[in-house]
DNA sequence: CCGTATCCGTATCGATACTG
DNA sequence: CAGTATCGATACGGATACGG
């Protein structure tokens, strides 16, 4: 697999371009969420997809996964500093989607 | 195919998330390029991929394709206003890729 | 020059079932 | 609760050949 990129844009997309990756990252901005909370926010993703994308984001150093050895199980996800550095991009994507695609904003969280 | 999105970010990615789409859009920002010029800037893409992604971008109203009926053939691509509105996102992705991934910038064009 | 057509392997994604 | 395992469909992407 070729991991060299000619263009920064291409490199960036390779990290956040997955079907649910940018959405996951967006929901985790400035927050810590449990697996089930994350899943509620992205209902269309199956467990398989969600777990897989989370593993990749973790491998790429964008998110941190914390497992609490309790019953019932508890796993929390949050962005690393590296992940947080994506905020300008994620916010730009959210704003654009709202403005130009008229997507109802469930991104700007209601409390 | 489900075209409804829960989140603006997801909707945005669905338009620019293709392997070469964001790179194409980026190279066309504020410019008009011929097919061959575009291909030179994205050498890794095959003719098939480049043409396919260009068709999709055209279908989604992000780029305009102009064919000149001359010999040899001449086809030019440029962003629509809709496409230009993505500039903040594309620039953010380029800046981030340069800053955090240390990709040599061939994005900021040398003349 | 600007593509399309065909074939084909791989990666992505979904559905379902199951588990500590 | 937080996943994994398995199977299968389809989309993505590359190689090559060809055409107006």
Indicate the domain borders of chain B.
Answer: 19-99
Instruction: Specify the DSSP element, H or E, that contains A93.
Output: helix A87-101
Residue from A8, A13, A107, A109 whose CB has the most chain B CBs within 10 Å, to mutate: A8
pLDDT band (50, 70, 90) for residue B19: confident
**CA–CA distance, B105 with B111 (Å, rounded to integer):** 13
Look up residue A35 and give its two tokens: 């697996």
Residue with minimal CA–C1' distance to D15 is B46
Q: Any atom of strand D under 7 A from CB of B18? A: yes
Structure-token pair, residue B96: 């981030």
Instruction: Report the helix count and the strand count for chain B, using DSSP H and E.
Output: 6, 3
pTM for the model:
0.91
Residue A110, pLDDT > 50, answer no
Nearest to A40 by CA among B8, B13, B7: B7
Q: Does any CB of chain B come closer than 8 Å to the CB of residue A96? A: yes
Query: Would you say domain B19-99 falls under CATH 3.40.50.300?
Result: no
Residue with tokens 């996951």: A24
* Distance, Å, A1 CA → C3 C1': 27
> At residue A47, does pLDDT exceed 60?
yes
pLDDT score, position A2: 44
3-class SS of residue A65: strand
pLDDT above 80 for A59: yes
């Amino acid at each position: 697999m070729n991991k060299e990129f000619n263009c920064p844009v291409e490199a960036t997309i390779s990290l956040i371009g997955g079907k649910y990756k940018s959405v996951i990252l967006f929901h985790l901005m400035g927050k810590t969420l449990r697996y089930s909370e994350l899943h509620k926010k992205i209902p269309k993703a199956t467990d398989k997809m969600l777990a897989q994308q989370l593993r990749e984001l973790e491998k790429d150093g964008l998110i941190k996964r914390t497992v609490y050895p309790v019953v019932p199980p508890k796993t929390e996800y949050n962005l690393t500093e590296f992940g947080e550095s994506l905020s300008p991009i994620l916010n730009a994507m959210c704003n654009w989607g709202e403005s130009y695609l008229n997507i109802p904003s469930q991104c700007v969280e209601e409390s």
